[in-house]
Structure 1
């Protein structure tokens, strides 16, 4: 049985005309008739009533359903395999955080696209510790994270190569009061009463960056944690609603600052710098990884 016989029969069932179906299939009328008879021989039963108007036999009606489903499955499978053929290269697997995935990765990928041409990427998001585990296990090729005291401890320089891609800063922010000043403001010599603080959950890598900075201040700040979350975006929304003071990455708050929904709530001494870094296992020297890694040097 040939695949074109099924296509012939489906077209004949649609047009209910041997001559029109033959024309649509770009074969002569006699050749088309022979192919339909060959299909009937293969099936072992007549499929059409050869009289006017042309109709399908009971066996033809049953076979039409089977033929249609078979063609749909075969065409879908072919399309899938053709798509795989167009993307023979495995995607570059990158683990990162949710904020970096939405705020940093798109522009960074665009710059890579312009430098190296198009390439496939598979991006997975999660916490920094989870990303390090995936990288160590070889489940991803690269790790894109906020650098912190914890990540610097966990990323062994003998096993991993690292590159700093960009510098970022944690900014102290607050919703404004009626005069455009921060509802909650703080500075090192503040003697204010306890200030409501929107903090980071332990799973966020920047918690260590902030804690390290606060511990180095000559005077302990009057902060009272009233809320913590494992999402910078969730903390942003709480700050916008005037629930407390928060330190957040500039990339997260820049739009809210520009629109006046948030204002800076502390001086430059409260602005905390940190790095956005990329890491790979030294043992992973695949072409797709090294092409990107070496090109960034």
Structure 2
């Protein structure tokens, strides 16, 4: 066993100290937002953001949770995130594996067509007509999942990771009679957990934060996702602020800032819990795509 010298120990302590200070630096804004969301609007306007609100208030959260609309939106977003991430990982993994196998005849041409979509796009009007008119997906919850099911960027990242796996694993399985589906799900994917965790996190964040698709295609209030509902609440608050400024209602301070802070906590809270479960894979998964594929 190699014994560390005094200089190595001191250097390690310095690194740990830097990491602790950086972690505190990253946590300070979040703590300030969380604490300020429980303050009154008047205190925020008078004293600015705070870590210890003098006037504790739940007005912002009461405004957000005044009915069951927010809980229904939570359900929609949770379903879209879980179902979308699962389907995206299945199809992305299958396509990435197909173009990473050298024996696939037209894999380079398929990869080019996928790459082409990263450079050129039909535009918003063409996408809207295709999805709403020709595919008939308007006002369907699946419109929040299917159009963004496969990301070309994520697919190429996963393809590059698959290319680093020793080909002898798949060749030995084929000699034993295994087909491509068995090789993918029983051999390739289990050894690709760092890449899958990273790509899965990217997809989950994308589905969770998506609101623009709902703005275009969803008219039924029962199918509003969380982010779009929050966007509508904020627009209504902006309208209230304009009206109150014109009418000059005495002793009335619209809770615009505190509601913004509260919505930040409400929307990012659940997705944060993904990180502890993926942490052990995430550091290694950051190297996805760093090798030549």
Give the structure with the higher percent helix: 2
Under a length normalisation based on structure 2, what TM-score does the superposition of the two structures give?
0.20
- With CA pairs under 8 Å and 6+ residues apart, which has the higher RCO, 1 or 2? 2
Under a length normalisation based on structure 1, what TM-score does the superposition of the two structures give?
0.20
Give the structure with the higher percent strand: 1
For the pair shown, the structure with the greater C-alpha radius of gyration is 1
